[in-house]
Amino acid sequence: MKAKTLFFIFLALFPLIAQARGGREMERPFLVGPQYPFLFLSTTFEPDTAFTLKRGQVYSSLSFTNLNTYVFSASSDKANNPAGDASKFDQSDPTGYSIYFDGEIDRRYLRVYWGWSDRVELQLTYRDIRFVPGNLDQSVENFHKAFGLGNQGRDQTPRNQLDIYIHDNETGQNIFAITQPNDKFHQESMTLGLKLNLRETASEAISFVFSSNFEDRYIERELNELSLAYEKPYKKFNDYNYGLLYSSLFADWTLHAGFSMAKVGQSLFPKSPSELYYFFLGAGWQLGPESDVLLQVLEYSSPFPKDNVSTIAADVREVTTGIRWHMGKAFAVELGLTENQSQGPQNIDILFFSNLAFSF
């Protein structure tokens, strides 16, 4: 069936399905976790509602994200010369790591959450990923100019490039590199999670969450184009994340908050912290019977060591906003973006996301 025919069928059915919003299972924050790419090597925190699904209830979603990043350390050869060599760094910073990151990342998600009991929810998330030169550079430059944000010289460098390097300042060697684009998606990771409801009333809830990655060998061990000796061999469930969620529902708006800690083990880099912290706050407001606008802030630790002279070890803060359309009680469509509020080589530029969620 042609796409145009499907579109007109959807328009015809929309008045029938868009008659009422879903229940509490649909009143959740955007499921948009940290977007700095090197965090993907570990099990990350993901915003969620503190309410658990009822026994036998299922919530599922299909998501796509498109991330654009152009950041670099002051020691990068590109810092003072846009035509410089992306793989080269000076030794002005004798400790920690330096970064050059120019490229785009596409990710796809499939989530299936299941109410095992009225207070216990099991969660399974599948992700795949590809690194590409992309085509958002000019759009991001224009966005920055429109808001007077500056472009860090990105408008003077060739557009649509893929050059990613991590440099060990102490040894003077690059320890990580991605330069070869791939149009095909690779399995990034799978995550098994548990949400345990600690307290729930008609309008608020507190839950404990625990999750751990498995089937993540590609992103953790195979993606790096440079040979890197790891202290321990790869194994599944070698890192984990745990924390608390809080949610409160009001007549026409919702509030969500969260805190978690990640034990990253050997997932990141040899000098990375052994623990990372996440702080989350978000709110949603009803625009009408079928739509919401959401705003949320996520702050998290840098994956780089604190002994760096530069700001690369500072916390990262990302702001996410977007729209959710409820199509009946069982479906919702979400569109939005994430922008970095903090500044430094451990930040992104912008992320666009879309999501189709349903429950039964």
Range scoring the smallest mean pLDDT among 74-83, 237-246, 282-291, 327-336: 74-83
Q: Which two tokens stand for residue 26?
A: 């649909």
The pLDDT tens digits of the residues spanning 292-336 come to 999 999 999 999 998 766 789 999 999 999 999 999 889 999 999
Residues 20-30 have a mean pLDDT of 82
pLDDT, residue 18, reads 46
Tens of pLDDT, residue by residue over 329-360, are 899 999 999 999 998 999 998 999 999 999 99
State the DSSP string of 140-196: HHHHHHHTT---TTGGGS-SS--EEEEEETTTTEEEEEE----SS-EEEEEEEEEEE
As a whole number of angstroms, the longest Cα–Cα distance in the chain is 64
Whole-number pLDDT of residue 156: 60
Contact 136, 104 (CB under 8 A): yes
| Helical (H) or strand (E) element with 288 | strand 275-288
Tokens 């903090």 -> residue: 342
pTM: predicted TM-score of the whole model, two decimal places? 0.88
Rounded to whole angstroms, how far apart are CA atoms 12 and 174? 57
Supply the pLDDT for residue 282.
98
According to DSSP, the β-strands at 163-168 and 97-115 are antiparallel
Question: Under 8 Å CB-to-CB from 143, ≥6 apart: which residues?
Answer: 149, 350
User: How many percent of the chain have pLDDT more than 70?
Assistant: 85
pLDDT at 237 exceeding the cut of 90: yes
Report the chain's mean pLDDT, rounded to a whole number: 88
